[in-house]
Amino acid sequence: MLTVANTTKWLQLFTDQVNTNQDALNQYDTPIGDGDHGSNLARGTTAMMDSLNKADLKSVSDVWKTAAMAIISKVGGAAGPLYGTAFLEMAKASKDRPADDIAVQPLIDASLKGLLKRGGAVPGDKTMVDVWTDVDADLEKGPLTSDQVKTAVESTKPMEAKKGRASYLGKDSVGHLDPGSVSSGFFFESLIQEGEI
Ligand code: ADP
Ligand code: MG
Ligand code: MG
């Protein structure tokens, strides 16, 4: 179950992974995008942790709302509004839940619906939606594993991009991992790494 403490820890672990892999994320975004996904996201996650450390967080919903606001205000490009939407949906889905009964899966499910609506992508379009869709389904069956996350990220490689910048390349986008899916993989690896959720 999610608490203020383990949710904040999850986001700290995500921030650490984004910072450590900032250059790699930019490199994934170079052949099929504009090379800025790591820089975009690192700016956002750093601002997010600043906000979280300053805020008076009374609930899990407060954590996601604070995180969403920081990401939306700091991340330009497609990923900002998308992660922002995902986190805002988590805030909404956890808002009126009993404090000791906030499970991860319903929140991810709400985020995925928000992502689909906001970005207009469907599974198979080679976007972060692919990873969120697979993880959502995996979480429904039981605890998430690192192998499941890796499989979800790798599944974007053979896809032809239909949304976002990579779609401008058409068939030339085949054979590359989708950068937003790689960073979403970090997000879910961080959930596993947190260990207590
Ligand atoms: P930009 O493309 O504006 O430079 P980023 O590089 O930060 O933004 O983010 C690119 C990532 O955003 C892509 O790898 C993809 O996963 C995701 N993305 C782009 N467009 C969409 C969309 N319409 N729906 C879902 N995800 C998208
Ligand atoms: Mg980019
Ligand atoms: Mg850009």
pLDDT per residue over 136-191, tens digit each?
A: 999 999 999 999 999 999 999 999 999 999 999 999 999 999 999 999 999 999 99
The tally of domains found in the chain comes to 1
178 pocket-lining for ligand 1 (C-beta < 6 Å)? yes
ipTM of model over 0.95 = yes
**Which residues, 6 or more positions from 153, have their beta carbon under 8 angstroms from its beta carbon?**
131, 177, 181, 182, 184, 185
CATH number at residue 184: 1.25.40.340
> Among the atoms of ligand 1, which is closest to the Cα of residue 121?
24
Distance (Å) from CA 77 to ligand 3 centroid: 5
162 pocket-lining for ligand 1 (C-beta < 6 Å)? no
pTM over 0.90: yes
The residue whose two tokens read 């609930």 is 59
Euclidean distance between CA atoms 31 and 14, whole angstroms: 24
* pLDDT one-digit tens code per residue, 103-148: 999 999 999 999 999 999 999 999 999 999 999 999 999 999 999 9
Domain of 126, in residue numbers:
4-194
